[in-house]
Amino acid sequence: MCGICGVVSASGSVDPERVAAMSATLVHRGPDSAGEIADGTAALAARRLSIIDLETGDQPIANEDGTVHVVQNGEIYNYRELRRELERAGHVFRTHGDTEVLLHLYEQHGDAFAERLRGMFAVAIWDARRRRLVLARDRFGIKPLYYRDADGELAFASELRALPRGEVDLDAVEAFLAFNSIPAPLTIFREVRKLPAGHLLSWEDGAVRVERFARPAPLPERNDDQAELVEELRSRLRDSVRAHLVSDVPIGVLLSGGVDSALLAALAAEESAEPLRTFSIGFEERSFDELADARRVAERYGTQHRELVLRPDAALLLPALADAFDEPFADSSALPTYLVSELAASDVKVALSGEGGDELFGGYYTYAADLLAARAGGLARLARPLVERLPSSTAKASFDYRAKRFVRAAQLPPLERHHGWKEIFSRDMRAELTVRRSPFDPVDLLRARYEETSGADGLARLQDVDLGVYLVDDLLVKTDRASMAHSLEARVPYLDTVVTNLALALPTRHKVRGLAKKVLLRKAAEPLLPREIVRGKKRGFSIPAAAWLRGELEPFARETLSAETLHRQGYFEPSVVHRLLDDHVAGREDLSRQLWGLLAFTLWHERHVERAPGDVRVPELLAER
């Protein structure tokens, strides 16, 4: 795990000190060592978090004659097999880790090298012979990669903070308000783009070309016997976990108490020679607290278990989150993820996490609603007036919240309906809220993804949209930034092709059946986990934001979203924001996700636009608590 960055120029030399300064902004991603390579019109740098090959794995790494250099963020799980293949082809290795494999694979296969990789990665290769830069990002977008193509040069980095910023992109603001995150290729700044998942960028003589090299998508359905599929899934998960446990440093598991992370913990414990380390977050609010389930797993497998209970004052870390997430990000589960990562980082350098399980195996209530709406859209229209009168609850996944979302979107076309159940600010609400509008419709990004799977099963198409947008640009961003803020590598075994190649071929009946979700995954988990977890409700690191914003957090919200601040920043109408806050506090509707998004954007703007980022640091904020 590392942070990488670099600059290539078509018109003149690149100052190595400039790239060293970029690298310094990424020190949290790699505190163990730093390295740079300068080659006239190009310079690359890496910050290293030493996980594999502790002695010889520092980056950048060059080939035998020093004509090709590589920096990498991530882990390649099939590097040993690839190394043996390359050695048979005559390549000579000087290190023992996975990064050098990338060099020789590029020499052997050219840009097709990325297609051969099993793992999570953001890679930069400088080919001095051709004066050519190649960037590649893994097929699921687990590792981030940003770039800026302007002023006759291309600059890239693992995080936005290392690049020149420029003007805020109003298209990105529109997308943020719709999704609470910013989907690729957009970033919050107009001149900076994200390299999309599964894409490769090549730069040569100032010309930039971006191409897709991998596209996970629904596969032809497997109609095997369920018992056979259960055994195959369990075997594939075990294979993935075994690969993700390869490390020269201790590994733990972020354990939420739900079936996804619990199953990872069970398999990792069986594969580990020493007691596994597990880490959990809980809450005072009982409907959100999952510590009891996490303890059941920890006790069953004898793990070294640590846990932390979050209280409303944890929200004082919102400024620290705005600092760690260098573009607006408002998934409220980032807060417990940030803190459980801090807890884990005090014991281990690597932790397994359960991202991807819901999108692949049908874990969201929205998937059950997708199937129900196809049959009950008319009834939803008739029931809407009554449902809209239900009082707002602060309980986790409350009935009133779900019922209102369902009836409002049930009669829309399938994709718009699916988005409607998760949408933050609707198009009409965005028009009322924003001072400066963009005509861009963020849902067009979802429509483009959806159209690519025309002809596939209806639910599989919606899962694919979540896999390619929500997972990549929300959940994986959250996990990467929250963990790397504490120099912790998070690995996601569900997003291994060994697992996804089966999951993407499962018929709907093995994923969602009535209100039952993750049908096949739960069957695979039955011999390994307590009954309460296998049959339990969906779990995650969600927080009681609705209750907090109606209680201890209300003064903080009103101060942060003051009319003075909103006028100064110039994006949102203060009267609309204050009405939303008043409606939420009064219990007229649960608007916690909208308010959390406005808080996140406002705090981000203060730290990354109005003044230099990093002025507020985590240790100082923790001390204030």
- Domain chopping of the chain, boundaries: 2-212, 226-361+477-534
Lowest mean pLDDT among 83-87, 227-231, 361-365, 382-386: 382-386
Q: For a pLDDT cut of 90, what percent of the chain falls above it?
A: 75
pLDDT tens sequence across 409-418: 667 789 998 9
Is 69:61 a contact under the CB 8 Å cutoff? yes
The one-letter amino acid code at 188 reads I
Cis status of the peptide bond prior to 144, with omega within 30 of 0? no
Catalytic residue among 1, 2, 46, 251, which? 2
* pLDDT at residue 382 is higher than 60: no
pTM (2 d.p.): 0.93
Q: What is the CATH number of domain 226-361+477-534?
A: 3.40.50.620
pLDDT value at position 226? 96
Write the burial class of residue 599 (CB in 10 Å: 0-12 exposed, 13-18 middle, 19+ buried). buried
Angle, vertex CA 611, rays to CA 606 and CA 612, nearest 5: 120
Q: Which two tokens stand for residue 605?
A: 């703007």
Q: Class of 2-212 per CATH?
A: alpha beta
The predicted-structure confidence for 494-504, as pLDDT tens digits, reads as follows 999 999 999 99
Categorize the per-residue pLDDT at 316 as very low, low, confident or very high, splitting at 50, 70 and 90: confident
pLDDT at position 625 is 38
Q: Do the Cβ atoms of 305 and 280 come closer than 8 Å?
A: yes
Mean residue pLDDT of the chain comes to 90
**Pairing assessment for the beta strands 2-9 and 33-38 based on DSSP bridges:** unpaired
For 267-333, list the strands marked E by DSSP: 277-283, 304-310
User: Nearest-CA neighbor of 36 among 53, 59, 68?
Assistant: 59
Mean pLDDT of 215-224: 96
Length of the chain: 625
| Model confidence at 288: pLDDT above 70 | no
Tell me the mean pLDDT in the region 2-8.
95
Buried b (16+ CB within 10 A) or exposed e, 141-173: bbbbbbbbbeeebbbbbbbbbbbebeebbbbbb
Q: For 18-70, what is each residue's pLDDT tens digit?
A: 999 999 999 999 888 889 999 999 999 999 887 665 666 688 999 989 999 99
Token pair 């957009």: residue: 186
Place of tokens 């993750």: 518
Burial of 549 (0-12, 13-18, 19+ CB in 10 A): buried
For residue 135, give the 3-state DSSP assignment. Answer: strand
Task: Determine the pLDDT at residue 18.
Answer: 95
In CATH terms, are 2-212 and 226-361+477-534 the same topology?
A: no
Distance of CA 620 to CAs 67, 456, 615, Å? Answer: 45, 51, 10
Closest CA to 482 of 603, 310, 351, 292: 351
Hey, what are 368's tokens?
């059950």
* pLDDT at residue 594 tops 70: yes
Question: Which residues on neighbouring strands pair with residue 38, listed in sequence order?
Answer: 43
CB 376 within 8 Å of CB 410 = yes
Rounded Cα distance, 372 and 481, in Å: 36
Least confident of 161-170, 338-347, 349-358, 611-620: 611-620
Q: What is the three-class DSSP state of 194?
A: strand
pLDDT 10s digits, 535-588: 887 655 678 889 899 998 999 999 999 999 999 999 999 999 999 999 999 998
Told to judge if 5 belongs to the known catalytic residues of this protein, a careful annotator would answer no
